[in-house]
Amino acid sequence: MGLAKPVENYTQSEAASLAQQLRDQLADYSQAYYTQDAPLVEDHVYDELYRDLEQLEAAFPVIVTNDSPTQKVGGQVLPGFTKVTHEIPMLSMGDVFSEAELAAFDQRLRKNTATEIEYNVELKIDGLAIDLIYEEGRFVRGATRGNGTIGEDITQNLKTIKAIPQKLTRPVSIEVRGECYMPKAAFADLNQKREAEGQEPFANPRNAAAGSLRQLDAKVAAARQLSAFIYTIVTFDDVQATTQSEALHVLAELGFNVNPTSVVCQNMAEVQAFIEQYQGTRNDLAYGIDGVVLKVNDLALQRQLGNTVKVPRWEIAYKFPPEEAETVVREIEWTVGRTGVVTPTAVMDPVQLAGTTVSRASLHNADMLRDKDVRLLDTVLLHKAGDIIPEISQVVLDKRPSDSQVYAVPTTCPSCGHDLVHLDEEVALRCINPMCPAQMKEQLTHFASRNAMNIDGLGPRIITQLLAKELIHDVADLYRLTADDLAQLDKFKEKSINNLLNAIDASRQNSLERLLFGLGIRHVGAKAARLLAEHFQTLAALMASDQETIITVDTIGTIIADSLVTYFADSQVQTLMAELEAVGVNLTYTGVTKAQAATSDSYFNGKTVVLTGKLEQYTRGELKQLLEDNGAKVTGSVSKKTDALIAGQDAGSKLEKAQSLAIPVINEAGLDNYLAQ
């Protein structure tokens, strides 16, 4: 990229026309990046276009418009969030991309000040800027940057992050700012789960963190393993610091998580040494960085230098150059995951990238494959998303073979040949054949698990042997196993054989909701399975129901209903259900109905109960169901509406809160007495 000719060779008319094209393009990219948390291009592509626009506007100031990206900070405030006004605006930082530009920044500051300058140099964390307010040492409000003046109130989501203290070590009133980020390991784990669920993966940890914080349900943010570094004190009323390095020390003393890598540099040689150190070791960090930040260390000098309309004059971000490698796609492999999601993977000529040899990169789903238009024998640019996951950023079209053909996405499962489905709300192709060999080990493991059919002793090691010896091909075959069959397994003697056969036989009598959950139907978790089983009473009634009928069940929506209708419409599924009935598996609901629970004379009937700590006699799922059978409502957090807390070993904050609210606490030893009443 870059301007087609030197900026001084443009006429004003040409510059105005090109600048508007760049503004429109950057606006689209900015909308996707800041508001939708789904970037359309790599950061360096956006940066280069932005710099082109800056050059044009600097050469022709008359063409600058109020809505130009160069005049704005951040993105929009999303609907659904309470708006927060930043009394002191949250500005962006200026960026430079070379040693020469960094030196020019330093020279400009030294020229405009009559004092020596030292810098506090910090890593540029790849996350989402946040603003936190504490009153007398207690966290009261947290917000996003938004457009710099108005942000989004995300207090409840930020309260779920362990790195953000709820109470400071001193009762100071203070406003601080920092960066919320997703650790690399959490990012990789989240994308793996999203792909298994047929969802679009996040492009990088920054967008994953932003997407997690901008959730209306705080439980989503709590599950995403977010963290944060705090690096700025906005108000100094209750704290003493004269430099940025001292401010970081104060923040750490107050209990904030402060990045430990920052250093004070007296000259650009020291700054350059810091840059070289972390540019070479960035892949070893547990979190993503995309550069370093130079801040004038003297806070009084910071205030003297002030800000432009968009950026502070006393700080600058040096952005690391993109680390990409060029290679050739030789093959596209399709693999079937545990949940039936079929994923394409590009197999390429091996290249060195970010310290490792890379020859494979996930293309995630058929939509992404089509959007990037990756074809066999294409030359592609490869980078690592979040410095961890190999990903194709773009095809080098100039090097595409002249006889290249659009890659044909498969319509049948590469493992079993069954037709693939594309559910309405998913980006993934999925094989829903319950007898697909590629899915069978994981399906059987889930089917036998404690919260499903609860077949004690049937774990992954045994299932692997049963499949390898072709003793089973689907879940119905479990109920046809004999002692002679099990005797073929390694280290499986008479006692183990009898125990497993008894566990399998006992599972035949399970209530319908356990079978529904055990089948691993998309979106049907344990709670939904029980609601469905209780409502329809029999598997036959559920299988005969259409989407409109299913969504009449309380809390069951169109996504679950669509998944059920699609699943039970499949001929292979219908065959499996008939086989399960033939081998004597119970297909009816035998649990307690809501009406029965409502008339229970149990101590727990009508009470709101919370569980905490480690339980010895029950799993959480077992006790939750037992309490609900006795008419209780089991919730996840303690409040004034909580009637009882059941506390196991190592109970923590929930126990403390229950005691402070004088809520009855029941230990596991006394639980049986209450259940017997």
Binding site as annotated, residues for Zn(2+): 413, 416, 431, 436
From the list 189, 201, 187, the residue with the least C-alpha distance to 428 is: 201
Residue indicated by tokens 């990169």 = 361
Contact predicate 471/481, CB 8 Å? yes
| Residue of 335, 408, 340 whose CA lies nearest to 373 | 408
Nearest alpha carbon to residue 278 among 106, 126, 93: 126
Any idea which residue has 């540029």 for tokens? 124
Phi, psi of 597 (to 5 degrees): -65, -35
Q: Round to whole Å and give the CA distance between 336 and 317.
A: 43
Q: C-alpha distances in angstroms, 209 versus 158, 183, 215, 222, 462?
A: 11, 9, 10, 11, 39
CB-count exposure of residue 173 (10 Å: 0-12, 13-18, 19+) = middle
Distance CA(81)–CA(451), nearest Å, equals 36
124 has catalytic annotation: yes
In sequence order, what DSSP letters do the residues of 11-25 get, joined into one string? -HHHHHHHHHHHHHH
- SS3 sequence of 611-654: EECECCCCCHHHHHHHHHHCCCEEECCCCCCCCEEEECECCCHH
Q: Which residues are bridge partners to 180 per DSSP?
A: 128, 228
CA-wise closest residue to 503 among 576, 579, 448, 445: 448
Q: What is the DSSP string of 207-266?
A: HHHHHHHT-SSHHHHHTTT-EEEEEEES--TT---SBHHHHHHHHHHHT----TT-EEES
**Would you call 572 helix, strand, or coil by DSSP?**
helix
- 215 token code pair: 């959730």
Half-sphere exposure of 503 (CA within 13 A, CB side): 19
Q: What dihedral angle (degrees, nearest 10) is formed by the CA atoms of 368, 372, 378, 384?
A: -70
Strand-pairing partners, residue 317, are: 95, 293
Coil, strand or helix at 53: helix
Q: Could you tell me the CA-to-CA distances from 154 to 133, 143, 159, 429, 661 in Å, in that order?
A: 12, 5, 9, 34, 26
Q: Return d(Cα 576, Cα 231) in angstroms, integer.
A: 58
Tokens 């659009």 identify what position? 406
Closest CA to 529 of 411, 435, 446, 421: 446
Query: Do 604 and 630 touch, CB atoms closer than 8 A?
Result: yes
> Where do we find the tokens 């100094």?
236
Among candidate residues 5, 72, 111, 124, the one labeled active-site is 124
Which positions are catalytic? 124
